[in-house]
């Protein structure tokens, strides 16, 4: 029995250490590590796998290679179907998908070529990314050390002829270093969250004026002159009525610059709310996409999940505003649902034609909830999509049509 305990303990220790090292060591060699949360690459890469992506020069990419790339506020892992060498555009496709992805990938958004993947390890990575997971791993490590030392009476360095057993303090020390490093990372993330919250609270206090029980166009006034003196990329401001989703909208022409960067050009996990790079920053396109992270502390677009989790949330928060230096626009929500990271949803721009009418019809048909106002929307309307990560491991999108406008005084 003691021998079984000892073997079990050593197995627990080995699994925790190997799992931790498999996530840390590749980063030391310049690789990026991602957890696969979509089945679009099955059966080649299954849900719950870890993929390792290595930066690769454009000329060395070839059809059939699997790449990881930025798609808005998401990372997608798909196979190269075709390469436009002249414009450095890459057409991709998930192995499980029938058609190629709608939007080509600009090389500037490519993170790297996938050089390896490990099934199931993604579930471990997801567990270790949370504070509870780290504490569970620490407890298991201690239990493993206790079990592995059961029945061991000799240690390394004993006299000749005696049984040599690994000193249990060694794996304990290694495990503690790994777990404490992870906890240190959690503390860093917590401080990063706090910094972002403080920044955006200060922006609201300094550059906006919020009012209650007034006409919608008087709810928020924005000082764009001073905001743009800090960063000229401030294109607009978003406010979801009745919530604390109130942030500047950044526009740089690409979908990478503000993914993990604040308006003040500081690194932050929360990044910024930003407009799709293929859109025009004055919101004159028929379809505009705004990206924001689904933060665990419910900041940024973290509270959008309530639309699908709380049956009464839409009734109380069915409008959001996009405010530019020239006008205030009020959008009414008519659809929301989960979708893939490389979904047909992420197509811009559109114009007033049948293609856009078909697109709107598709948004309505996919909606989690039938919303009465959706029947009134057509290709002459303007649509804004709010996109964030979903708790299902996919993407959650909220769609509003332009309900009313008002000039900025």
In CATH, what number is assigned to the domain containing residue 303? 2.40.260.10
Domain residues for the domain of 114 are 31-121
Task: Specify if 202 maps to a domain.
Answer: no
Q: Please answer whether residues 74 and 38 qualify as being in contact, where contact means their C-beta atoms are separated by less than 8 angstroms.
A: no
Interatomic CA distance for residues 190 and 268, integer angstroms: 11
Domain end call among 98, 121, 144: 121
Is 81 found in the same domain as 186? no
Residues 343 and 385 in one domain: yes
227 and 339 together in one domain: yes
Last-in-domain residue among 89, 121, 153: 121
Which run of H or of E encompasses 224? helix 224-230
Pair (146, 217) in one structural domain: no
- Judge if 150 and 114 occupy the same domain: no
With beta carbons less than 8 A apart as the criterion, state whether 338 and 396 touch: yes
- Do 19 and 152 share a domain, yes or no? yes
Q: Does the annotation count 20 as an active-site position?
A: no
What confidence score (pLDDT) does residue 155 get? 46
Please identify which of the residues 6, 20, 38, 182 carries the catalytic annotation: 38
Residue 360 and residue 250 in one domain: yes
**pTM score, two decimals?**
0.71
Q: Which of 87, 121, 155 is the last residue of a domain?
A: 121
Q: Distance (Å, rounded) from C-alpha 107 to C-alpha 86? A: 11
Per-residue pLDDT of the chain (409 residues; tens, 9 = 90+): 667 877 777 787 787 777 778 878 888 889 999 888 888 899 999 988 999 999 999 999 999 999 999 887 678 999 999 999 999 999 999 999 988 988 889 898 899 999 999 998 888 777 766 666 766 777 777 777 777 776 554 544 445 555 555 555 565 566 666 666 655 655 666 666 677 888 888 889 899 999 989 999 999 999 999 999 999 999 999 999 999 999 999 999 988 899 989 999 998 888 999 999 999 999 999 999 999 999 888 999 999 999 999 989 999 999 999 999 999 999 999 999 999 888 899 999 888 999 999 999 999 999 999 999 999 999 999 999 999 998 666 899 999 999 999 998 7
Alpha carbons 247 and 239: distance in angstroms, whole number: 7
Q: Which pLDDT score, from 0 to 100, does residue 107 have?
A: 92
DSSP bridge pairs for 91: 82
Co-location of 230 and 95 in the same domain = no
Is 203 a domain residue?
no
Does 246 reside within a domain?
Answer: yes
Examine the domain organization and report whether 330 and 392 are in the same domain: yes
Phi and psi for 280 in degrees, rounded to 5? Answer: -95, 130
Q: Is residue 215 located within the same domain as residue 340? A: yes
What secondary structure letter does DSSP report for 202?
A: H
What pLDDT score does 188 carry?
61
Instruction: Specify whether 244 is located in the same domain as 339.
Output: yes
Q: How many domains does the chain have?
A: 3
In a domain, 263, yes or no: yes
Question: DSSP 3-state helix, strand, coil percentages of the chain (rounded to 5)?
Answer: 35, 25, 40
Q: Does 217 share its domain with 248?
A: yes
């Amino acid at each position: 029995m003691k021998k079984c305990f000892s073997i079990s303990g050593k197995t627990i220790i080995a699994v925790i250490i190997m799992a931790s090292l498999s996530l840390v060591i590749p980063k030391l060699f310049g690789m990026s590590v991602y957890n696969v949360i979509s089945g679009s690459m099955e059966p080649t890469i299954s849900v719950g796998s870890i993929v390792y992506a290595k930066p690769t020069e454009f000329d060395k990419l070839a059809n059939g290679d699997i790449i990881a790339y930025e798609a808005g506020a998401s990372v997608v892992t798909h196979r190269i179907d075709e390469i436009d060498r002249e414009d450095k555009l890459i057409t991709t496709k998930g192995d499980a998908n029938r058609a190629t992805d709608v939007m080509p990938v600009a090389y500037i958004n490519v993170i790297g070529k996938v050089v390896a993947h490990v099934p199931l390890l993604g579930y471990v990575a997801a567990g270790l990314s949370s504070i509870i997971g780290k504490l569970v791993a620490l407890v298991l490590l201690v239990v493993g050390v206790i079990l592995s030392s059961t029945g061991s009476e000799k240690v390394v360095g004993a006299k000749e002829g005696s049984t040599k057993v690994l000193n249990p303090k060694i794996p304990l020390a290694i495990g503690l270093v790994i777990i404490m490093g992870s906890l240190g990372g959690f503390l860093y993330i917590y401080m990063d969250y706090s910094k972002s919250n403080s920044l955006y609270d200060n922006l609201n206090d300094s550059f906006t004026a919020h009012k209650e029980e007034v006409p919608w166009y008087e709810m928020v006034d924005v000082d764009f002159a001073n905001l743009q003196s800090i960063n000229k990329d401030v294109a607009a401001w978003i406010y979801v009525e009745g919530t604390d989703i109130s942030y500047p909208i950044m526009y740089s022409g690409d979908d990478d610059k503000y993914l993990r960067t604040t308006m003040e050009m500081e690194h932050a996990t929360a990044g910024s709310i930003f407009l799709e790079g293929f859109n025009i920053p004055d919101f004159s396109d028929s379809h505009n996409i705004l990206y924001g992270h689904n933060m665990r502390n419910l900041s940024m677009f973290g509270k959008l999940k309530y639309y699908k989790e709380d049956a009464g949330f839409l009734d109380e928060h069915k409008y959001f505003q996009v405010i530019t230096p020239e006008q205030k626009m009020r959008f009414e929500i008519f659809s929301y649902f989960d979708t893939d990271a490389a979904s047909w949803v992420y197509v811009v721009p559109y114009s007033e034609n049948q293609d856009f009418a078909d697109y709107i019809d598709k948004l309505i048909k996919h909606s989690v909830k039938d919303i009465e106002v959706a029947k009134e929307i057509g290709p002459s309307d303007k649509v804004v999509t709010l996109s964030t990560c979903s708790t299902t491991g996919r993407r959650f999108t909220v769609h509003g049509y332009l309900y009313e406008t008002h000039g900025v005084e």
